[in-house]
């Protein structure tokens, strides 16, 4: 299935130093060819492993062109971005340093709540160019808070990369410089994305079945 392409972003002004956005494929149709063993977990597949690989290669090319040869720091948000960043950095030439920051939002499993830092950076980012990597841009609260923190730590330039973007869910005015795919308001799991810490290991991204959420809610009541 050929993905739809979002309308191209307006041309940057002469004074803009933001990277030129590349077209973002919109994934709004589900494939029902679900790997066996996962049919009770997901109702359809949003992105296959092959689709993810191809898109990550495109993102890496664009990031590498923008960052160039001055050493930069990739800051990946734990835990959701782990599979994505592992594949992304292997497509980058660098020179780069890979570091991790832990942020958790305590909500009910599908809704984000209050943000708490669970792990600090190991590396000093003051005066450095930084690329923040996250799995998904949803309300925008997480990315906006992490960018604020990196800037307050003195990062010279902060750019952001997310694998998925759900623009319809935005609460905070926050975009990303590099976006893998846009998706509708679906709760997705796999390729690092979890529901109650489960399903991160799936090699594809799929839409979580509502029955799974209902069963977890029943468990919580017991
Ligand atoms: P915000 O709302 O702060 O959300 O932009 C970012 C974090 O929320 C989680 N999130 C999801 N996790 N499937 C998931 O497994 C989803 O569809 C989803 N939407 C948001 C995720 O941890 C992300 O970093």
**pLDDT tens-digit readout, 180-190:** 999 999 999 99
Distance CA 100, CA 89 (A): 13
- Residue 186 alpha carbon, nearest atom of ligand 1: 17
- Residue 36 tokens read as 């066996």
141: nearest Cα among 118, 174, 165, 119: 174
Give the nearest ligand 1 atom to 135 CA: 24
Which positions of the chain have pLDDT values less than 50? 1-4, 7-16
Q: C-alpha distances in angstroms, 47 versus 70, 74, 202, 203?
A: 33, 24, 11, 9
pLDDT of residue 110: 62
- Ligand 1 pocket residue status of 55, Cβ below 6 Å: no
For ligand 1, atom 17, the nearest C-alpha belongs to 187
Span from the CA of 180 to the centroid of ligand 1 (angstroms): 15
Q: CB neighbours of 61 closer than 8 A, spacing ≥ 6?
A: 91
Q: Ligand 1 in contact with 164 (CB < 6 A)? A: no
pLDDT of residue 11: 43
pTM beyond cutoff 0.85: yes
CA distance 194 to 157: 30
Annotated catalytic residue 165: no
Q: What is the pLDDT of residue 13?
A: 42
Sort strands 157-165 and 4-5 into parallel, antiparallel or unpaired.
unpaired
What's the pLDDT score for residue 188? 98
Fold (topology level) of 27-221: Rossmann fold (3.40.50)
**Which residue out of 87, 129, 135, 138 is catalytically annotated?**
138
For residue 158, how far is its CA from the centre of ligand 1 (angstroms)? 21
């Amino acid at each position: 299935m050929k993905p739809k392409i979002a309308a191209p972003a307006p041309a940057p002004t002469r004074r803009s130093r933001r990277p030129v956005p590349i077209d973002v494929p919109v994934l709004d149709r589900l494939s029902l060819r679900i790997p066996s063993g996962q049919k009770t977990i997901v109702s359809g597949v949003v992105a296959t492993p092959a689709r993810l690989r191809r898109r990550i290669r495109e993102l890496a090319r664009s990031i590498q062109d923008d960052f160039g040869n001055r050493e930069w720091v990739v800051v990946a948000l734990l835990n959701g971005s782990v599979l994505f960043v592992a594949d992304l950095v292997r497509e980058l030439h660098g020179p780069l340093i890979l570091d991790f920051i832990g942020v958790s939002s305590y909500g009910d499993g599908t809704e984000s709540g209050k943000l708490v830092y669970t792990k600090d950076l190991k590396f000093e980012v003051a005066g450095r160019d930084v690329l923040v990597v996250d799995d998904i841009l949803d309300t925008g609260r997480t990315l906006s808070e992490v960018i604020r923190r990196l800037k307050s730590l003195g990062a010279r330039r902060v750019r952001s990369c997310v694998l998925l973007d759900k623009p319809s869910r935005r609460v905070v005015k926050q975009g990303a410089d590099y976006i893998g795919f846009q998706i509708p308001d679906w709760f997705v799991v796999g390729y690092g994305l979890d529901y109650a810490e489960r399903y991160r290991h799936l090699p594809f991204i799929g839409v979580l079945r509502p029955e799974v959420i209902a069963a977890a809610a029943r468990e919580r009541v017991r």
